[in-house]
Structure 1
Amino acid sequence: MPDASNRSEHARVQSIVEQVQQGSTEAYSELIHIFQRRIYVYCHYLLGNNEEAEDAVQEVLVKGFYEIRRFRPGVSYSAWLYRIAYNHCMNVLKKRKRQRSIIQDYIFSYSSRIAGEVDHSDQIDQLLEQLKPEEKHILILKVIEQYTFDEMEAITGIRNVTLRKKYERIRKKLSSTKQKGGILHARSYGTTK
């Protein structure tokens, strides 16, 4: 998105947030309209499951509403909401890990397909399955959501410099997968911003 467009949306969102903070519950529906799909996609990539992602979006947006008085303008509202989404998804993943059984592990691993039958979204999903939750989170924020490292720091609470190093390790890991005949074909990820 162009910078002017980002600034315009940021100003619009900030105005809506101020209205909600002053008691306008109706204004929150505009924030839902702006962020619902984005948060769903983000949660789906982290959780890998439609139902859990839909539930997560609802939880995140409800928590965003009840916690909005705690939001401070030093960080973008988007980054603040993504932080809530990240924390929620990490809790879901921890709970899932505790509850996972042998049968569930078998079902989860039963995703191999013949190369010609795998479409691009399946390739991405398979690639993301190889990453740890934190790696997945960093990759999604940088490549898919196209956040800067400064914005990612606000979302994750991880220092900018550390994020850059982790991102480079992820790139090397993906490059290694590609070189070994892995899932992703000749796609590279930049490190600008």
Structure 2
Amino acid sequence: MELIEQRIVKRAQKGDRLAFAELVELYKDKLFNLGYRMLGNPQEAEDIAQEAFLRAYANLNKYNADHKFSTWIYRIATNLCIDRIRKKKADFSLDAEVDGIEGGDMYSRLSAQGDTPEQEVVRLETRREVQDAIDGLPDNYRAAVILKYLHDLSLIEISEILEVPVSTVKTRIHRGREALRAGLRPML
């Protein structure tokens, strides 16, 4: 995959827009998911993904082929998320009222797939509590935890994305896990 990706990037660097469109197709869902996990808002996640691709396109000539393209694009998206979080602290929640949706919140749009109403309520409450706990983590811990456990990236990849030593990544993941454990203890 890396070799194919490198070829696509080289074509994109030479001005091939279709090659860049291939890169967008490869990473759009991953960047959306990253943005959604970090920001908790699908519109903002979409904005982050688009902005990350715009910045990548504008700076494609600065991309260093010694590193994986995925690491570079994740770094751009993660930094955009952290900037957005710092600029406006969580003013949107997944269980906030949404215009035009009867019942009102984003959770009401999820299908139950055969669960009883009681099971659905428990699952939604658990999901909200976990997301709230993740949202409550300091920015640097949140980014490391999301990249590790939700995107299944290696410590080295996370280190490159966050531009910190691997030992710092390990510390952030450990402390993030401990903070989540403490925040979720009442659920256990």
Question: Is the shorter-chain TM-score for this pair beyond 0.5, marking a shared fold?
Answer: yes
* CA deviation vs aligned residue, 1:66-115 (integer Å, no higher than 9, x gap): 11111012211001001110111122122214xx8xxx5xx75977xx96
Look up the match of 2:179: 173
User: Normalised by the size of structure 1, how large is the TM-score?
Assistant: 0.77
Q: Secondary structure at the match of 1:27?
A: helix
Give the % identical residues.
Answer: 22
Displacement after TM superposition at 1:38 (Å): 0.3
Q: Which amino acid in the other structure matches residue 174 of structure 1? A: L
Equivalent-residue separation in structure 1 for 2:5 and 2:151 (angstroms): 17
Post-superposition, which runs of at least 4 consecutive aligned residues in structure 1 deviate over 4 A? 107-111
Q: Which amino acid in the other structure matches residue 162 of structure 2? A: T
Q: Which amino acid in the other structure matches residue 13 of structure 1? A: E
Question: Paired residue for 1:15, among 7, 17, 22?
Answer: 7
Q: Does 1:60 align with 2:52?
A: yes
Equivalent-residue separation in structure 2 for 1:78 and 1:53 (angstroms): 17
Look up the match of 1:162: 168
Q: Which amino acid in the other structure matches residue 24 of structure 1? A: D
User: Normalised by the size of structure 2, how large is the TM-score?
Assistant: 0.79
Look up the match of 1:79: 71
Q: Secondary structure at the match of 1:131?
A: coil
- 2:144 and 2:169 in contact (8 A); partners too: yes
Equivalent-residue separation in structure 2 for 1:94 and 1:129 (angstroms): 12
- 2:141 and 2:176 in contact (8 A); partners too: yes
In the comparison of the two structures, how many residue pairs are matched?
166
Equivalent-residue separation in structure 1 for 2:137 and 2:41 (angstroms): 16
- 2:35 and 2:45 in contact (8 A); partners too: yes
Equivalent-residue separation in structure 2 for 1:173 and 1:89 (angstroms): 20
Q: Does 1:143 align with 2:135?
A: no
Aligned ranges 1:17-36 → 2 under 5 Å: 17-36=9-28
Unpaired runs of at least 5, structure 2: 97-117
Equivalent-residue separation in structure 2 for 1:125 and 1:175 (angstroms): 13
Look up the match of 1:69: 61
**CA RMSD between the two structures:** 2.4
* CA deviation vs aligned residue, 1:42-75 (integer Å, no higher than 9, x gap): 0111111111111111111111111111101221
